[in-house]
Amino acid sequence: MSKKIWVTVIALGLIAVIVGYSYVTVSNGPIEPLGRLSFVKIANPDMYPGHPHANLLGVYALQRNSKCAMVLHFAGSSNYRSFPELVNDTASHQTGNVYIIEVAFIDTQGGGSKSMSQIDLLDSLKVALYGVPDGRYKYMSDGTIYNTYDEMMAHVNQLAQQHNQTGPIPTVWHGTVRTDNPLMDPGCGFPLYFQIMTKTYGIVPAYVYTAYGLMQVFIYSPYWKYELAHATELQTLYNEGALNLDKSNVASNVDKYYQNLSKQETISQENLTNYD
């Protein structure tokens, strides 16, 4: 057998071991990684009851008999209020309620994931090699800022328990991109997804499932072709405010969502309409 064949066999064997180890590790864990949810923002706010991306995430959860699902963002002016989603899966003709848990991260060293031009490549390489340093991120969920990862995850687990979650929580990063090429930019929430994978399963499974997560949107989302074909148009409409939710003409469950949000927190009107 030639040297090239030996090298190929060894490389394939090593890949098989890494992928197999990652699969076994993740299959027994508390988080089910489902990768990137979408490419561009199709409504503002990014998530609310009845939003197509919220329903899509709910479909993913319903297909897995999960009561909850989690979506990850890069923190902006939203307060990332979690909410119940009435899911209608037209493919399987199933309906059900799924509780959508929203979590965003705040990078204390800057807003590098807002656009490709702001990304520090050396810093990103260090994060990829060693994971996110403890204390670098803060987190926002349900109007509260959590200073540590453990505090944030305690909140997530408490919500899951309150809504009768059993088994792993299906988890995505939102993946939307405001200005850049969505095929080049992994989008909103990507670094937090990588951190959760690293903290939960270790750096090697984090590599495997984050890489696979970049492809999952092509496999599962019914919107990906439309979003990519109309990415520039949708980004322009979003950034100009043309996709803002008109709260004077919304379904009752959306209206209740915002009414409850306003009662439970002191926030400005801008926070109800601005993007994350």
Amino acid 11: pLDDT: 86
Tokens of residue 65, six digits: 């008999």
Compute CA 256 distance to the chain's CA centroid, rounded to the nearest angstrom: 24
Amino acid 156: pLDDT: 98
Span 12-29, pLDDT tens digits? 889 999 999 999 999 989
Span 85-114, pLDDT tens digits? 998 877 777 788 999 999 999 988 765 445
Amino acid 217: pLDDT: 95
Judged by average pLDDT, the poorest of 88-92, 116-120, 174-178, 262-266 is 262-266
Amino acid 261: pLDDT: 43
Above 60 in pLDDT, residue 71? yes
Q: At what angle do helices 203-220 and 3-27 cross, to 10 degrees?
A: 80
Above 50 in pLDDT, residue 132? yes
- pLDDT-derived band at 33 (thresholds 50, 70, 90) equals very high
Span 184-243, pLDDT tens digits? 989 999 999 999 999 999 999 999 999 999 999 999 999 999 999 999 999 999 888 888
Tokens of residue 40, six digits: 């561009």
Amino acid 119: pLDDT: 62
pTM of the model as a whole:
0.84
Amino acid 251: pLDDT: 47
Q: Over the chain, what is the mean pLDDT?
A: 83
* CA–CA separation, 92 and 95 (whole Å): 9
% pLDDT > 90, the chain: 57
Nearest to 103 by CA among 44, 67, 25, 157: 157
Instruction: Tell me the average pLDDT across 150-163.
Output: 97
Span 230-269, pLDDT tens digits? 999 999 998 888 888 765 554 434 444 444 443 333 333 3
Amino acid 117: pLDDT: 54
* CA–CA separation, 135 and 261 (whole Å): 28
Residue by residue, what is the 3-state secondary structure of 117-149? HHCCHHHHHHHHHHCCCCCCEEEEECCEEECCH
Above 50 in pLDDT, residue 144? yes
